[in-house]
Amino acid sequence: MRTTVGIIGAGPAGLLLARLLHRAGIDAVVLESRDRSYVEHRQRAGILEQGTVDVLRAAGAGERMDREGLRHDGIELRFDRTRHRVDFPARTGGRSVTVYAQTEVCKDLIALQLKEGGPLLFEAEALAVEGAGGERPRVRFRREGREDVLECDYVVGCDGFRGVARAAVPAAVARVSERTYPYAWLGILADVPPSHDELVYARHDRGFALLSMRSSSVSRLYLQVPAGTRAEEWTDDEIWSELDRRLETDDGWRLRRGPITQKSVTPMRSFVHEPMRHGRLFLAGDAAHIVPPTGAKGLNLAVGDVVTFARALIHERETGSPDLLDAYSATCLRRVWQAERFSYDMTTLLHPAPDATPFDAGIQRARLARIASSRAAQTDLAEAYTGFPLG
pLDDT score, position 83:
97
Please tell me whether residues 36 and 117 are part of one structural domain: yes
Domain membership of residue 84 (yes or no) is no
Residue 78 belongs to some domain of the structure? no
pTM to 2 decimals?
0.95
Q: Which of 80, 76, 99 is nearest to 378 (CA)?
A: 76
Q: Could you read off the pLDDT tens digit of each residue along the chain, which spans 391 residues?
A: 999 999 999 999 999 999 999 999 999 999 999 999 999 988 777 899 999 999 999 999 999 999 999 999 999 999 999 999 999 999 999 999 999 999 999 999 999 999 999 999 999 999 999 999 999 999 999 999 999 999 999 999 999 999 999 999 999 999 999 999 999 999 999 999 999 999 999 999 999 999 999 888 999 999 999 999 999 999 999 999 999 999 999 999 999 999 999 999 999 999 999 999 999 999 999 999 999 999 999 999 999 999 999 999 999 999 999 999 999 999 999 999 999 999 999 999 999 999 999 999 999 999 999 999 999 999 999 999 999 887 6
Q: Is 5 within 8 Å of 309 (Cβ atoms)?
A: no
Does 391 map to a domain? no
Are 255 and 371 contained in the same domain? yes
- Look up 193 and say whether it is catalytic: no
Asked, for residue 308, whether it belongs to a domain, the answer is: yes
- Integer-rounded Cα Rg, in Å, for the chain is 21
Q: Which contiguous run of DSSP H or E holds residue 372? A: helix 358-373
Q: CA dihedral in degrees (162, 167, 173, 179; nearest 10)?
A: 10
Burial 197-233 (b: 16+ CB within 10 A, else e): ebbbbbbbeebbbbbbbbbeebbbbbbbbeeebeeee
Same domain, 185 and 154: no
Residue type present at position 235 = T
User: Is 209 within a domain?
Assistant: yes
In the chain, the amino acid numbered 203 is: R
Say whether 201 is catalytic.
yes
pLDDT at residue number 390: 79
Name the active-site residue from 12, 22, 72, 100.
Answer: 72
Q: Is 295 in the same domain as 335?
A: yes
Pair 60, 125 in one domain: yes
Q: Looking at the structure, do residues 238 and 372 belong to the same domain, yes or no?
A: yes
> Which residues lie closer than 8 Å to 344 by C-beta, 6 or more apart?
179, 270, 292
The domain that holds 63 is classified in CATH as 3.50.50.60
Separation of alpha carbons 327 and 347, rounded Å: 30
Among residues 204, 278, 289, 297, the one annotated as catalytic is 297
Q: Rounded to whole angstroms, how far apart are CA atoms 369 and 371?
A: 5
- Domain identity same for 342 and 362: no
Flag whether 90 is in a domain. Answer: no
Neighbours of 294 (CB within 10 A): 24
- The answer for 320, left when phi > 0, alpha when psi is -120 to 50, beta otherwise, is left
Whether 252 maps to a domain, the answer reads: yes
Residue 45's pLDDT is 73
Catalytic entry in 154, 181, 183, 385: 385
Are residues 68 and 132 both part of a single domain? yes
Phi, psi of 73 (to 5 degrees): -100, 15
Q: Is 222 a catalytic residue?
A: no
Q: Do 142 and 258 belong together in one domain?
A: no
CA distance 45 to 162: 18
351 is catalytic: no
The span from the CA of 60 to the CA of 63, in Å, is 7
Give the separation between CA 341 and CA 177, rounded to whole angstroms: 13
Q: At what angle do helices 375-386 and 328-350 cross, to 10 degrees?
A: 130
> Is residue 149 one of the residues assigned to a domain?
yes
**Which domain covers residue 295, as residue numbers?**
5-72+97-177+269-346
Q: Note whether 10 and 108 are same-domain residues.
A: yes
Give the span between the Cα atoms of 91 and 384, in whole angstroms.
11
Instruction: Exactly one of 201, 278, 328, 351 is catalytic; name it.
Output: 201
Domains in the chain, number: 2
Strands 47-48 and 97-99: antiparallel
What's 238's domain CATH number? Answer: 3.30.9.10
163 and 194: one domain? no
The active-site residue, picked from 194, 292, 293, 352, is: 293
Q: Are 101 and 133 part of one and the same domain? A: yes
Residue 176, CA atoms < 13 Å, CB-side half-sphere: 16
Residue 297 among the catalytic residues = yes
